[in-house]
């Protein structure tokens, strides 16, 4: 007879929710990747129905008693960590009524689907009609979560993606970035003006880019027996650990956006594929946070793919699929991949200007959720902040401005800070790797990537949500918390030294 009956019952219930969430995730991926346009309304209703069912299971009255009973059972350290994550999920679910969960799912699906045609048309007026409802429901969600947790409204939403992080800490980190980032961008641009960079010639067929992306994924260890690459309007990584679904998008005038985007998503995919299988189906087996998730994608895209030696590994793949030309020579390819040029599009941004895009979105969405501004105020604020942070005029260009990302239309408020938090974590991971492996850069130059992947697997991927974030950071890096100094040192070393 089990000595932990309440805990065992909870595990069975969470296993069932995991399997239903599996179906929900694949249906959501298909909605973005393969579903014909006329299927959207039916799919949106089906996803809302599944969201409601999962909410019912997550809020069953019996759960509170089981959680309390399990707390008194003789559990080991791993079980107690899983129980902690179960309680966290239970509390967040109970703060929201099922009607709101279903309404949010439906509004987000409709807005995101319409965005796919509205963005190319630069149709801000049409987009706003759907976005107002998305924001209204996000504010209601934030209010209810805040009332339950005692947090500020935006903090309550951000806590869903980055547990324990607060806007006051983000303000401190981003405030410091604001002080030194503009000067760094200028210094790097001045330095790079002295470099000769060959521009790739010709158009690059999507089929050839896809083949190149698949080879890059193989180079970086993606398991194609447990995942696949497809195309969507906005790149993302979804699915489940057993079946990871990645997407990218192609521009035939430039191959680098798709290549670097695919490498970015491969970091997400490998994290998912290497989450602890022995705990699969339980909350403890999930990725700890989206900041940590982004630290994996940015470890792949920025730390590794932009490493001076990595172009030597990519160059033969580029030549194989796109043909031979001087621009694809390793040194020039690295210069192409590390050009610092302020631009409109976040996902295409270099690693130096990228944080400016995140700061802009964070400042706007926080004010939007807190009710300090309305949807109609976004374009003017966007234009002012783009001019201030990157010196770019975006007036009237909605498709490459506030409509460029899927996040707001999909109701993902509180997510954007995770990108730059992830870049900071990634720099901290590589600093820790170099302390334990002084020859790391030589290994990368020799094409030995396994030491990087093995370290990430041992310290991050395999840990799931066993540890709360500060403890995971301490165990992985030897430092008590996120240390942004590593990010600044990384950028200055890569772009201003040598």
pLDDT one-digit tens code per residue, 141-154: 999 999 999 999 99
Same domain, 242 and 297: yes
Query: What distances in angstroms separate CA 469 from CA 42, 203, 355, 401, one per listed residue?
Result: 39, 45, 21, 33
Give the active site residues. 265
Whether 149 and 174 map to the same domain: the answer is no
Residue 2's pLDDT is what?
81
In this prediction, residue 234 has a pLDDT band, given cuts at 50, 70 and 90, of confident
- Residue 1: pLDDT over 90: no
Assess whether 382 and 450 both reside in one domain: yes
* 356 within 8 A of 390, measured Cβ to Cβ: yes
- Examine the fold and report which residue of 160, 186, 211 is the final residue of a domain before the chain moves on: 160
User: Does residue 154 share a domain with residue 235?
Assistant: no
pTM of the model: 0.96
Percent share of the chain, pLDDT over 90: 97
pLDDT grade, residue 228 (50/70/90)?
Answer: very high
Residues 353, 270 share a domain: yes
Same domain, 292 and 251: yes
Contact 342, 408 (CB under 8 A): no
Max Cα–Cα distance, the chain, nearest Å: 74
Same domain membership, residue 209 and residue 148: no
- Residues across the chain: 498
Domain termination residue (choose one: 142, 160, 178): 160
**Residue 484 pLDDT exceeds 70:** yes
Mean pLDDT score across all residues of the chain: 96
Average pLDDT over residues 61-68: 98
Question: Structure tokens of 324?
Answer: 């031979």
Contact 232, 247 (CB under 8 A): yes
Among 126, 160, 194, the domain boundary falls at 160
| Total tally of structural domains belonging to the chain | 2
Shared domain check, 224 and 141: no
Q: Decide if pLDDT at 27 tops 90.
A: yes
Does 200 lie in the same domain as 145?
no
- Mark whether 171 and 155 lie in a shared domain: no
Q: Could you list the residue range(s) of the whole structural domain that residue 464 is in?
A: 167-496
Kindly give, in sequence order, each residue whose CB lies less than 8 Å from that of residue 227, ignoring residues fewer than 6 positions away. Answer: 239, 243, 244, 245, 246, 269, 272, 273
Both tokens of 385, joined, read 């902040």
The enclosing domain of 312 has a CATH number of: 1.10.1370.30
pLDDT digits (tens, 9 = 90+) for 342-384: 999 999 899 999 999 999 999 999 999 999 999 999 999 999 9
| Average pLDDT over every residue of 247-261 | 95
What is the structure's pLDDT at 498? 66
Residues 144 and 172 in one domain: no
Asked if 78 and 219 sit in the same domain, the reply is no
Instruction: Average the pLDDT over 251-272 and give the result.
Output: 96
- Going by pLDDT thresholds of 50, 70 and 90, the confidence category of residue 385 is very high
Q: Residue 493: which pLDDT band, with cuts at 50, 70 and 90?
A: very high
Q: Which of 286, 262, 261, 290 is nearest to 274 (CA)?
A: 286
Q: What percent of the chain has pLDDT over 70?
A: 100
Q: Which residue has the tokens 């976040």?
A: 346
The arithmetic mean of pLDDT across residues 209-232, rounded, is: 97
């Amino acid at each position: 007879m089990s000595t932990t009956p309440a805990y065992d019952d909870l595990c069975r219930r969470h296993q069932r929710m995991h399997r239903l969430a599996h179906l929900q995730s694949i249906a959501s991926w298909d909605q973005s990747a393969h579903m014909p346009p006329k299927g959207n309304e039916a799919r949106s209703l089906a996803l809302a129905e599944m969201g409601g069912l999962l909410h019912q299971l997550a809020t069953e009255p019996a759960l509170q008693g089981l959680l309390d009973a399990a707390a008194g059972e003789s559990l080991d350290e791993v079980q107690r960590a899983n129980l902690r994550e179960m309680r966290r999920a239970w509390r967040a679910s109970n703060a929201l009524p099922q009607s709101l969960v279903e309404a949010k799912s439906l509004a987000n699906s409709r807005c995101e689907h319409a965005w796919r045609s509205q963005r190319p048309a630069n149709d801000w007026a049409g987009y706003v009609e759907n976005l107002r409802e998305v924001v209204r429901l996000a504010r209601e969600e934030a209010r209810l979560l805040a009332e339950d947790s005692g947090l500020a409204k935006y903090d309550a939403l951000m806590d869903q993606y980055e547990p324990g992080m607060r806007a006051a800490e983000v303000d401190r980190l981003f405030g410091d970035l604001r002080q030194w980032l503009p000067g760094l961008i200028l210094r790097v641009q001045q330095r790079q003006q002295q470099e000769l960079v060959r521009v790739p010639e010709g158009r690059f067929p999507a089929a050839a880019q896809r083949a190149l992306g698949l080879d890059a994924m193989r180079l970086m260890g993606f398991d194609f027996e447990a995942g696949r690459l497809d195309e969507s309007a906005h790149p993302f990584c979804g699915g489940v650990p057993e079946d990871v679904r990645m997407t990218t998008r192609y521009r035939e005038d430039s191959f680098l956006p798709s290549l670097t985007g695919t490498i970015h998503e491969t970091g997400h995919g490998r994290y998912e594929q290497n989450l602890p299988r022995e705990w699969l189906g339980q909350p403890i087996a999930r990725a700890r946070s989206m900041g940590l998730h982004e630290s994996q994608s940015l470890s792949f895209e920025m730390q590794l793919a932009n490493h001076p030696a990595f172009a030597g590994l990519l160059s033969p793949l580029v030549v194989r699929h796109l043909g031979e030309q001087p621009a694809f020579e390793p040194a020039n390819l690295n210069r192409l991949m590390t050009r610092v040029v302020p631009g409109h599009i976040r996902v295409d941004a270099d690693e130096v200007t990228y944080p400016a895009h995140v700061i802009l979105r964070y400042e706007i969405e926080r004010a939007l959720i807190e009710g300090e501004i309305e949807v109609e105020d976004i374009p003017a604020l966007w234009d002012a902040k783009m001019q201030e942070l990157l010196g770019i005029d975006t007036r009237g260009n909605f498709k490459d401005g506030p409509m460029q990302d899927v996040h707001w239309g999909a109701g993902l408020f509180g997510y954007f800070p995770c990108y730059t938090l992830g870049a900071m974590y990634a720099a901290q991971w590589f600093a820790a790797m170099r302390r334990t492996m002084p020859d790391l850069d030589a290994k990368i130059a020799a094409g030995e990537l396994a030491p990087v992947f093995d370290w990430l697997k041992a310290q991050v991927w395999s840990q799931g949500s066993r540890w709360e974030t500060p403890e995971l950071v301490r165990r992985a890096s030897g430092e008590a918390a996120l240390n942004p100094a590593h990010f600044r040192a990384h950028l200055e070393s890569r772009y201003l030294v040598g």
